[in-house]
Amino acid sequence: MTGEEMHALVERLYPLCRSITGDGVRRTLEIVGEHVPLDVHEVPTGTQVLDWTVPKEWNIRDAYIKDPSGARVVDFQRSNLHVVGYSVPVSATMTLQELRPHLHTLPEQPDLVPYRTAYYAETWGFCLSRRVLDGLGEGPYEVVIDSTLADGHLTYAEHVVRGQTDQEVIISCHVCHPSLANDNLAGIAVATALASRLESPRLTYRFLFAPGTIGAITWLARNRDRVGRIVAGLTLACAGDRGALTYKRSRRGDTGIDRVMAHVLADRPHTILDFSPYGYDERQFCSPGFDLPFGSLTRTPYAGYPEYHTSGDDPGFVSPQALAGTLEALEEAVSVLERDGRYANLSPYGEPQLGRRGLYGSLGGRSDTKQAQMAMLWVLNLSDGCHSLLDVAERSGLSFRAVAEAAAALDSAGLLKRVGEGG
């Protein structure tokens, strides 16, 4: 998938009304499943998942506020952000004064519609721009929310790319937000693109498409026997805005994925943040009982841009170039995870003669000849069975790619032997 193809996926998913449960999530997963095969899981309402319980399923068909002339002044059919997520059914006639406690606006952004939810409280509401609210008369208004809140299921899906080992890398993105392009249709699109590109990896890659918070908690509750295999993980969100890439470290702060992302981002405009228990689902994977090597990759972080959780986060806010740049960084991170390892120098007494093995000659004419030579020397010197290739790259200041290529050449020449994993 190119940047343009990822953006087209964002545009296709944008009109769907998603929440933490319901048919909007299922339809979203059906569309993602056109690009990569998915295993879809349905978890019944009432299921105990760690300290939480799977909630009732919410679906909505229509909602509006009609003024005395019969015109829809707030209309779910124009934007699904107009209804507070998980609103219970309503059919009433109300004055503006009676309606006001159920109306949500952004006074400081009068032309935008906010995104609001009420997942675990049986209430209802509408979201609208402040400018529309200021133009409303006293009514009366016909108020309708045609929704259902009933026993059903929580839906999530997985795509697994099996590797040579059962050690797993998790890429997690949330699928619960309605018409919000950057948060998080962009994350879904980039995850889908990465999943479609992976072929015959060494590690196993598990892509998790689940509603925020309750979805990750449900997955963890159902996969406690699997978490010991997780060697790295990333939550992927806000992946398509024009800001620089941002990585939030794992709870431990010094895990393999933390080092990989720091190395990958070093040559790009970026920000690295320390862990915080507020954010996306990295906080579930990094909860103290699991304490997994899990970070978060975004561009501008949550709540860091004015369009966040508003109608301003539309497909025009997301660019194909930014999507492609996020995917490129992820692919480089995967390359490091795949190729990192610890090696032993099989000729450790003095520097081996590289020329007679054709290793120096193989570098002739390369634009990076000096870097390639230095990479070979660094790899030979630090390949004592204790240092990984990422260690070599960090200490030498060379790119991981140069170090990995040097190790591959030395291995082919019989001068190195892989003895363990990296990280």
**pLDDT tens digits, one per residue of 328-341:** 999 999 999 999 99
For the cut 70, the answer to whether the pLDDT of residue 361 exceeds it is no
To 10 degrees, the CA torsion angle through 323, 247, 205, 35?
A: -20
What pLDDT was estimated at residue 328?
Answer: 98
What pLDDT was estimated at residue 70?
Answer: 96
For the cut 60, the answer to whether the pLDDT of residue 364 exceeds it is no
The b-or-e profile of 385-418 (16+ CB within 10 A means b, else e) is eebbbbbbbbebebbbebbbbbbebbbebebbee
Band of residue 359 on the pLDDT scale cut at 50, 70, 90: confident
3-state secondary structure at position 206: strand
Token pair belonging to 242: 């024009």
3-state secondary structure 70-134: CCEEEECCCCHHHECECCCCEEEEECHHHHHHHEECCCCCCCCCECCECCCCCCCCEECCHHHHH
Question: Order of strands across the sheet with 416-421?
Answer: 384-388, 341-345, 416-421
Count, residues in the chain: 423
Query: Given the structure tokens 């978490």, which residue do they identify?
Result: 227
Token pair belonging to 305: 């841009």
Say how far apart CA 245 and CA 240 lie, in whole Å.
10
For the cut 80, the answer to whether the pLDDT of residue 219 exceeds it is yes
What pLDDT was estimated at residue 371?
Answer: 85
Q: What is the mean pLDDT of residues 96-105?
A: 97
3-state secondary structure at position 370: helix
Helices (H) and strands (E) in the chain, counts: 12, 19
Q: What is the mean pLDDT of residues 249-257?
A: 97
pTM of this structure: 0.95
Preceding omega of 101 cis (within 30 degrees of 0) = no
DSSP3 helix / strand / coil % (the chain, rounded to 5):
35, 25, 40
What pLDDT was estimated at residue 421?
Answer: 86
Preceding omega of 184 cis (within 30 degrees of 0) = yes
Q: With CA atoms as reference, report the closest residue to 262 among 251, 272, 253, 252.
A: 272
Band of residue 356 on the pLDDT scale cut at 50, 70, 90: confident
What pLDDT was estimated at residue 95?
Answer: 97
Interhelix angle for 256-265 vs 320-339, to 10°? 130
Q: What is the mean pLDDT of residues 151-172?
A: 97
User: 175, 28 in Cβ contact below 8 A?
Assistant: yes
Q: Quote the mean pLDDT of the chain.
A: 95
Band of residue 423 on the pLDDT scale cut at 50, 70, 90: low
Q: How far is CA 414 from the centre of its chain?
A: 41
Say how far apart CA 20 and CA 325 lie, in whole Å.
29
For the cut 80, the answer to whether the pLDDT of residue 367 exceeds it is no
Q: What is the mean pLDDT of residues 238-247?
A: 98
Query: Given the structure tokens 């229509």, which residue do they identify?
Result: 62
3-state secondary structure at position 245: strand
Query: Given the structure tokens 């009982």, which residue do they identify?
Result: 289
What pLDDT was estimated at residue 354?
Answer: 87
For the cut 80, the answer to whether the pLDDT of residue 355 exceeds it is yes
Band of residue 399 on the pLDDT scale cut at 50, 70, 90: very high
Q: Which tens digit of pLDDT belongs to each residue from 32-82?
A: 999 999 999 999 999 999 999 999 999 999 999 999 999 999 999 999 999
Parallel/antiparallel/unpaired status of strands 230-236 and 294-298: parallel
What pLDDT was estimated at residue 172?
Answer: 98
**222 burial level (CB within 10 Å; 0-12, 13-18, 19+):** middle
Band of residue 365 on the pLDDT scale cut at 50, 70, 90: low
Q: With CA atoms as reference, report the closest residue to 157 among 6, 312, 32.
A: 32
Token pair belonging to 38: 């998915």
Q: What is the mean pLDDT of residues 224-247?
A: 97
Q: Which tens digit of pLDDT belongs to each residue from 278-307?
A: 999 999 999 999 999 999 999 999 899 999
